[in-house]
């Protein structure tokens, strides 16, 4: 009878541990999936913003280098940065500040294009670092 009770108790404990691990693993997997999806979208938006910067500065194309489109992309990047952690969020805010400071000079001043491009690169590196840390 004692062996039966010990087996029953062990079975219940084993089931609880297994269930707890499964729930934890599912939560981590879901979190990683959300971060990964947001990160990939951020990388796409960063590439499109960089293309917009190059079109505005080097090609002086007012349609492809439209600053209103740039504002939308910068805002979307900032919104998506929430899922990337503190460093990504800080880099996205720095990108927003850099865009806000330099967008008007973008077509004419190389320094404005370089400052925005550097902010884009810093944000891209922060996103890549987050992706490397996922399980």
> In the structure, what pLDDT confidence band is assigned to residue 61 with cuts at 50, 70 and 90?
very high
**The model's pTM:** 0.86
* Surface-to-core class of residue 15, CB atoms within 10 Å of its CB (0-12 exposed, 13-18 middle, 19+ buried): exposed
> In the structure, what pLDDT confidence band is assigned to residue 15 with cuts at 50, 70 and 90?
very high
3-state secondary structure of 80: helix
CATH annotation of 35-133? 1.20.120
> In the structure, what pLDDT confidence band is assigned to residue 40 with cuts at 50, 70 and 90?
very high
> In the structure, what pLDDT confidence band is assigned to residue 135 with cuts at 50, 70 and 90?
confident
pLDDT of 1 strictly over 90: no
- pLDDT tens digits for range 68-84: 999 999 999 999 999 99
Longest C-alpha distance within the chain, in Å? 88
Count CA within 13 A, CB hemisphere, residue 55: 15
- pLDDT tens digits for range 111-123: 999 999 999 999 9
């Amino acid at each position: 009878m004692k062996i039966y009770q010990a087996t029953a108790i062990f079975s219940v404990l084993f089931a609880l541990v297994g269930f707890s691990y499964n729930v934890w693993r599912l939560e981590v997997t879901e979190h990683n999936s959300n971060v990964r999806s947001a990160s990939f979208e951020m990388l796409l938006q960063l590439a499109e913003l960089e293309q917009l910067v190059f079109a505005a500065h080097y090609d002086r194309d007012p349609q492809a280098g439209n600053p209103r489109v740039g504002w939308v992309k910068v805002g979307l990047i900032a919104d998506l940065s929430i899922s990337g952690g503190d460093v990504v969020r800080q880099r996205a805010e720095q990108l927003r500040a850099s865009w806000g400071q330099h967008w008007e000079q973008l077509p004419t001043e190389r320094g404005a294009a370089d400052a925005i491009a550097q902010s884009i690169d810093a944000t891209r590196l922060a996103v890549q670092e987050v992706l490397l840390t996922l399980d």
